[in-house]
């Protein structure tokens, strides 16, 4: 959210764009590290040495690993989009309605691209 888009009565808009950028970049680095560590931990499924329950457990672990990778990919894309909005001077503006996103929402999730009202509308579609 650029200085021009901050309303003067935003009590929780004490954070500037640098603070949000630092949080986004730190989270991106954390996700990249998590992803790299998960990639190193390979799930082995040797069907000749383990029983049926162990194989089922290994398959479940593999599915959880795939879901975790999918979520990391989505979060990295959200962060990249938020950083681009910072660069474009559009950070803090709802992508759907163009209104300012509540500062408290951005403090909780700096990658948020929608205001609460628009997020609820999308969720209920």
Would the pLDDT of 123 be above 60?
A: yes
Domains and CATH numbers, the chain: 17-123 (1.20.120.910)
Q: Which two tokens stand for residue 108?
A: 């909780």
- The tens digit of pLDDT for each residue in 12-60 reads 345 799 999 999 999 999 999 988 887 666 555 555 556 777 778 878 8
Specify the 3-state DSSP secondary structure of 93.
strand
Tokens in use for 124?
A: 């209920």
Q: pLDDT (tens digit, 9 = 90+) per residue, 56-78?
A: 887 888 888 889 999 999 999 99
Residue in 32, 27, 31, 16 with CA at minimum distance from that of residue 86: 16
- Structural contact between residues 113 and 96, judged by C-beta atoms closer than 8 angstroms: no
Task: Give the 3-state secondary structure of residue 15.
Answer: coil
Reported pTM: 0.75
Lookup: tokens for 102: 């509540």
């Amino acid at each position: 959210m650029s200085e021009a888009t901050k309303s003067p009565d935003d009590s929780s808009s004490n954070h500037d764009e640098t603070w949000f950028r630092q949080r986004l970049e730190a989270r991106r680095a954390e996700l990249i590290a998590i992803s790299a560590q998960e990639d190193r931990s390979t799930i082995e499924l040797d069907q000749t040495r383990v029983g049926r329950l162990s194989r089922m457990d290994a398959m479940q672990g593999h599915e959880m690993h795939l879901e975790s990778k999918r979520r990391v990919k989505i979060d990295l894309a959200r962060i990249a989009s938020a950083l681009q909005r910072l660069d474009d001077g559009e950070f803090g503006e709802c992508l759907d309605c163009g209104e300012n996103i509540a500062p408290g929402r951005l403090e909780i999730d700096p990658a948020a691209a929608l205001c609460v009202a628009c997020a609820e509308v999308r969720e209920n579609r």
